[in-house]
Amino acid sequence: MIPSSTAPARPASWKWWVTGLLLLATTINYMDRMTLANASVRVTKELGLDDTQYGNIELAFGLAFAAGSLVFGFLADRLRVHLLYPAVLVCWSLTGIVSGWTHGYWSLLACRTALGFFEAGHWPCALKTTFTLLNEKDRTMGNSILQSGASVGAVITPQIMKAMMTDAPGSWRNAFIAIGAIGLLWVVLWFAVLRPRDLEKAPVQEVTNDTLDLWSIIRGRNFLAVALLVTGIQAVWHINRVWLMKFLQTGRGYSETDALNFNSLYFIATDIGCFLAGAISLWLVRRGGATPHDARRKVFIGACTLTSLSAFIPFLGKGPLLLVVLLFIGAGALALFPCYYSFTQEISGRYVGRLAGLLSMWVWAATSPMHSAFGKLADSIADPAKRYDTGLVIAGLAPWIGVIAMKLLWRKNEAPPKCGALT
């Protein structure tokens, strides 16, 4: 191997190939995550679980994700991402495989808990990568590419599940194992594309507030604004991710096959929304004269408008209009994420990994109980057609919390009072 100090310079397009590799990692992350949601009706019936228990499994996943976010957020700033990233991917892939061997509530709960912990490592590592490789104008687009893998994974997974799940009991297990094994192949690509020190160079563009210690940043208004913003994002994205199949099958009477097919279409729409968020932001900066920050705010407001269409769900029965509304909601839901990632990178360049981890820990800990509450609410409603409507409406309106928080709290070049360093 040529030493990194004397290795040939990378071509300009290389950074975008790396973002494509991040897209693939996000795809694999969501494929492992979506297996249970796509087989939720079948798994809960076969294992004898009610909606409350299903919600508790998602609660455990979320709380473990919160813990993993804190751990891997700090590790991403301390250790070499070149090695940390593939390590966490191997761990969550193996956990996904083991999930296919579970035979009851507690074993499934344990596997999903471990999966949540290790999957959390993806985001701090990925954001450290885009921060290092891309300048400020390009980061929203780069983060859009990164995040769009969530849609790709969510599109592919229902089709794999549909192909592998037969009428035979337990056929969902093979799908869990096969999807988990895919992640192991990514590690080979990662080491083939990146040199050991590619991600240890200084970021291509400095970010303000790098002189502040971490505790001062956490106490600041900008961190609070982004923490509130991501809370609303998490609500709309994950409520739909976890409960959409049950809403379509139980709430509106679609067959499993039709629901799986629409689930793929739904996540195609989310992917379109995610790419448009990056493209529109880039256009507003390069052609519209907006600052990168203002461009992200405008895109975020537009995405909130789309998710707010959830207010019409209680008035829509089974049919094309309902499905079209769900597609627009999905497009808006994923379009929110690249804006959030870029806002996080604006807060501080010195602590990108730790801030990403802390914010992720906060939002998963704060919002994961909503799945348990959602399940209890569903179990308390006798009419299956109305069981999921209210929760979906609330989730769709939740992102406006971020618009309000950014308006009231965000300050450019914020400089909160310094105190004892936390590094």
Alpha-carbon span 326 to 17, nearest angstrom:
32
pLDDT at site 222? 93
- pTM tops 0.75: no
pLDDT at site 89? 95
What six digits make up the tokens of 423? 């590094």
Residue 99 contacts residue 108 (beta carbons within 8 Å): yes
pLDDT at site 203? 52
The burial class, CB within 10 Å (0-12 / 13-18 / 19+), for 239 is buried
Q: Which residue has the tokens 């009428």?
A: 167
Alpha-carbon span 142 to 218, nearest angstrom:
25
**Which residues in the chain come in under a pLDDT of 50?**
1-6, 204-208, 416-423
pLDDT at site 7? 55
The burial class, CB within 10 Å (0-12 / 13-18 / 19+), for 234 is buried
Alpha-carbon span 102 to 110, nearest angstrom:
9
Write the pLDDT tens digit of every residue in 12-36: 778 888 889 999 999 999 899 888 8
| The amino acid at 93 | S
Domains and CATH numbers, the chain: 18-409 (1.20.1250.20)
Question: What is the dihedral sign for C-alpha 157, 163, 164, 166?
Answer: positive
pLDDT at site 146? 84
Alpha-carbon span 380 to 382, nearest angstrom:
6
The burial class, CB within 10 Å (0-12 / 13-18 / 19+), for 230 is buried
What six digits make up the tokens of 99? 């999930």
**307: closest CA among 414, 217, 235?**
235
Q: Which residue has the tokens 């940390």?
A: 84
pLDDT at site 154? 77
pLDDT at site 196? 75
**93: closest CA among 104, 105, 85?**
85
End-to-end CA distance of the chain: give it in Å, rounded. Answer: 34
